[in-house]
Amino acid sequence: MLRIDHIGIAVRQMAESNELFRKLLGEAHFKVETVEAEKVATSFFHIGESKIELLEATDPESPIARYIEKRGEGIHHIAFEVDDIRAEVERLEKEGFLPLNREPKRGADNKLVVFLHPKSSNGVLVELCQSIQQ
Ligand code: ZN
């Protein structure tokens, strides 16, 4: 694991939250991106070497919509950057963690991502991410 790449935060209203986090962090978001497969709109802020990712559902059936329905807005996941995502998944499985997808999928911010089930990591949804080489 290299570092915390970002913290994902589930929000109801992206425009309002972009403004809120601009005030909080002192800098506007630098990127917005929609991940169609996950039915989610994202917006990214720099904070030092890490990022904040705001997540807004684009559809009532989105995992983010269901998350907010159950638990309200708030911290949704922590993303760790890795340099070999397949090797990390294999290592973590041996340690007893449960990947939600074993095959890395394309996430926002030009990354390959794998999520670990929160029940295997003290209730924290963990995202492993690896930058896709351009
Ligand atoms: Zn993320």
**28-59 per-position pLDDT tens digit:** 999 999 999 899 999 999 999 999 999 999 99
Q: How close is the Cα of 8 to the center of ligand 1, in Å?
A: 5
Residues ≥6 apart with Cβ < 8 Å to 15: none
Q: How close is the Cα of 53 to the center of ligand 1, in Å?
A: 6
Q: How close is the Cα of 95 to the center of ligand 1, in Å?
A: 22
**Which residues have CB atoms below 5 A from the ion given as ligand 1?**
8, 53, 79, 127
The answer to whether the beta carbons of residues 110 and 53 sit under 8 Å apart is no
Q: How close is the Cα of 51 to the center of ligand 1, in Å?
A: 9
**110-134 per-position pLDDT tens digit:** 999 999 999 999 999 999 999 998 6
Specify the length of the chain in residues.
134
Any idea which of 27-36, 47-56, 75-84, 100-109 has the lowest mean pLDDT? 100-109
d(CA 34, CA 56): 9
Q: How close is the Cα of 9 to the center of ligand 1, in Å?
A: 9
